[in-house]
A and B are shown apart, each in its own frame.
Chain A
Amino acid sequence: MSETYLPHEVQYSSARHQAESAISGMWLFLATEVLFFGALFLTWIYSRHWNQAGFDAGAQHTNLAIGTVNTVILLASSFVYSAGVAFIEAGNTRRLVQCAAAAWLLGLAFLILKFGVEWRDDFAKHLFPGADFAIHGPLGGSARIFFEFYFLGTALHGLHMVGGLVLVGWIIWRARRAEFSPALHTPVIVVGLYWSFVDIVWIVLYPLLYLVGRGP
């Protein structure tokens, strides 16, 4: 009964109406993201088909250890955040704040490992496909294309991560001000959908970057 008193915008008939619409809006936005990254993956697969040896040569220069650790970190981050959603549904704001903060820190750890350590290493090894690219010989041209995808793919994923950190930070800030309740916590769910999507992108990127080229 208390639901009728929850605030909502004028175009909606109830807070629940507004919440469901916001969630469907995020799903639709994620559909556009699927098409966005889908075009990248399609181009990747097409290019690899014609440049397989060069792509494999390039992939062997990536840092499998950091990539794997990062995958674990990112999955853990999403898991913890989802636990936070379950907590707020049960009315536990304090646990939501803790979970979101842990998810935020794990996300930051991913970014530091990816860009502070791995990218720096890649640049030091001249793996950026610029003038002094490290891989020479007949496979050099194809390996350059592999590293175009490597840098573009990880940069775009990283930008989505940064956006995600801002959003998760916003959730922490609002949760600390006790703005969420079991009845009203739409932003927590919407941000959670986005945060999980960023994971899914990485789950596709990880094998393409680190695993496919390392086969026997």
Chain B
Amino acid sequence: MSATAIAVPAAEPSYLTDGLTLRSWLLTTDHKRIALLYLGTITIFFFVGGIAAALIRLNLVVPEGLIPSAETYNRLFTMHGVVMVWFFLIPAVPTTLGNFIVPLMLGARDLAFPRLNLASWYLFVIAGIVVLYALFVGGVDTGWTFYTPLSTAYSKGHVVAAIVGVFIAGFSSIATGLNFIVSIHRLRAPGMTWYRLPVFLWSLYATSVILVLATPVLAMTLLLLSFERIFHIGVFDPALGGDPLLFQHLFWFYSHPAVYIMILPGFGVVSEIIPAFSSKRLFGYKFVVWCSIAIAVISFLVWGHHMFVAGTSLYSALVFSILSYMVAVPSAIKVFNWIGTMHKGFIRFDAPMLYALGFIGLFTMGGLTGLFVAALAADVHLTQTYFIVAHFHYVMVGGMVSAYFAGLHYWWPKITGRMYPEMWGRAGALIIFIGFNFTFFPQFILGYLGMPRRYHSYPPEFEVLNVLSSAGATILAVGYLLPLAYLTWSLFYGERASANPWGATGLEWRTPSPPPTDNFDETPVVTEPPYNYPPPELVQRHV
């Protein structure tokens, strides 16, 4: 009856309130807290890489380049590439959303190896510091690919320091992948059979297989590269009796599958969101599942398409071209399945769904333009032009970053216990979609017209399209700053979230938001298939 009884009750005890000291965060082995540590870290790297991108676009506003030195420009795009690839795109979804959601979806209390999980974050931070050191004391001018003999004989930058950073980050990747694989095999709740696993888990499983099997090859390649740079004996520089193509083979054996490390988790996120916001079962669940596995397998067999013009034999190029077409098949099947899921569903256009729809559109563009460059003859014309830049940004930024934001909004109530402001969320999704197309669509045309990538100046006839692209980049920047602002705001002022604000299936929604430290009070038992939404004819439309 007293006034205190009516006051808003304090939040339930959760993993967020279980220890409030800095020590309780830095020494935590709770997968949910480690996910948040990662979230903070990769957000910093996203903006570091983003600032480099902003300076690149600023330089290209005028044909002769606003930055006086081409050398500085080279260091900027290298910084952008290294930071974005290894410190944002590859870890983003697995280490943040994956770390948080995987045990919850499995119905488990933690990952299989919690201390290894924490160690992977520390390795990641150390790697990040080493790379930032390399980039800020003078930088690297080789591009993120570290091609030899430029990187071993001619580059004047801090190549070895950057490589040490990437090398250490690899251990972090391997630890995460290993943890996911063992957890998904060993920690499924009673009744959670393989075909009852949500697709997010299948995608992360496929991702982890690539992380675990491809990363060590990059590690050895980078070791050989460092050895060659330090001691001037090596297997890559033709002047030393080596073969530069060997480096490219080894590098792309990792780095092409790495593209799928970036995009497969995005597929998983979208496969959760589309059924939830269409109130329908995922169309062709088994197809989506096996397409994830197929992509992981085929991704190991397509690396040669990066070297069509590098002097490989015509026959190997033909084989790699055909294999590259093949990897498009499972990706396309997934797109059809998402669309099939939406067909006749009750679609709600909440922010996660808007981001997911943006993902489908942009990824499809990125994927289809990939077919152009998988064709041998077209690739001769398009390779090393802005067409390539536009193609992979559609996949990685339009696709992967949109999916990351989709997942972040979708699981934000679960992670923080707060709702984000819906109106701002939708605005953010729209602004990012528009800004992205504005930035990168002109680059398809620029590339088709023959503007080469990685040059700090260009002929005046390309000016209009470049100005358009840079103007779009400012919209995109606003789009990326918005979520930073309103998601931070929601941490303090957002409405408290219920356990299942979206009415979604999946075990993660069967525990309070935010979850208690041990995830579930009682181990959940799974008795139904995934995405068991009622048939559309039974669903009453909410007014």
Contacts and interface: CB of A to CB of B under 8 A. Distances in A.
Interface of A: 9-12, 17, 20-22, 24-25, 28-29, 31-33, 35-40, 42-43, 46-47, 50-51, 54, 129-130, 141-142, 144-145, 147-148, 152, 156
Contacts, number: 104
B227 interface: yes
Given A10-B518, A129-B233, A145-B241, A46 B216 contact: no
A35 B235 CA distance: 19
Contact of A28 (B212, B224, B227): B212
Interface string B221-233: 1011001000101
Main secondary structure on B side of the interface with A: helix
A9 to B, nearest CB: 7
A132 B219 CA distance: 29
Contacts of B434: none
Nearest 10 Cβ contacts at the A-B interface: A36-B216, A39-B220, A35-B216, A11-B110, A11-B109, A21-B186, A129-B233, A39-B217, A141-B241, A32-B216
Nearest to B212: A32
Interface stretch (B242-250, B364-372, B385-393): B242-250
Contacts of B220: 36-37, 39-40, 43
Interface in B176-225: 178, 181-182, 185-187, 212-217, 219-221, 223-224
A12 B233 CA distance: 50
B103 A145 contact: no
Contact of A25 (B112, B217, B240): B112
A35 B253 CA distance: 11
A37 B242 CA distance: 19
Interface of B: 103, 108-114, 174, 178, 181-182, 185-187, 212-217, 219-221, 223-224, 227, 231, 233-235, 240-243, 246, 250, 518
B186 A43 contact: no
A61 B178 CA distance: 41
Query: By CB atoms of chain B within 10 A, which of A12, A20, A54 has the most?
Result: A12
A40 B217 CA distance: 8
Contacts of A40: 220, 224
Contacts of A152: 223-224, 227
Contacts of A38: 216-217
A9 B115 CA distance: 11
A59 B223 CA distance: 22
B475 to A, nearest CB: 42
B260 to A, nearest CB: 16
Query: By CB atoms of chain B within 10 A, which of A12, A28, A142, A156 has the most?
Result: A28
Nearest to A21: B186
Contacts of B185: 24
Given A32-B174, A145-B240, A148-B233, 10 more contacts: A9-B114, A25-B112, A25-B113, A39-B220, A50-B243, A54-B241, A129-B231, A145-B233, A145-B241, A156-B223
Contact of A47 (B103, B187, B227, B242): B242
18 contacts: A10-B109, A11-B108, A11-B110, A11-B114, A21-B112, A28-B212, A32-B178, A32-B216, A33-B216, A39-B216, A42-B250, A43-B220, A46-B235, A50-B241, A144-B240, A145-B242, A148-B227, A152-B227
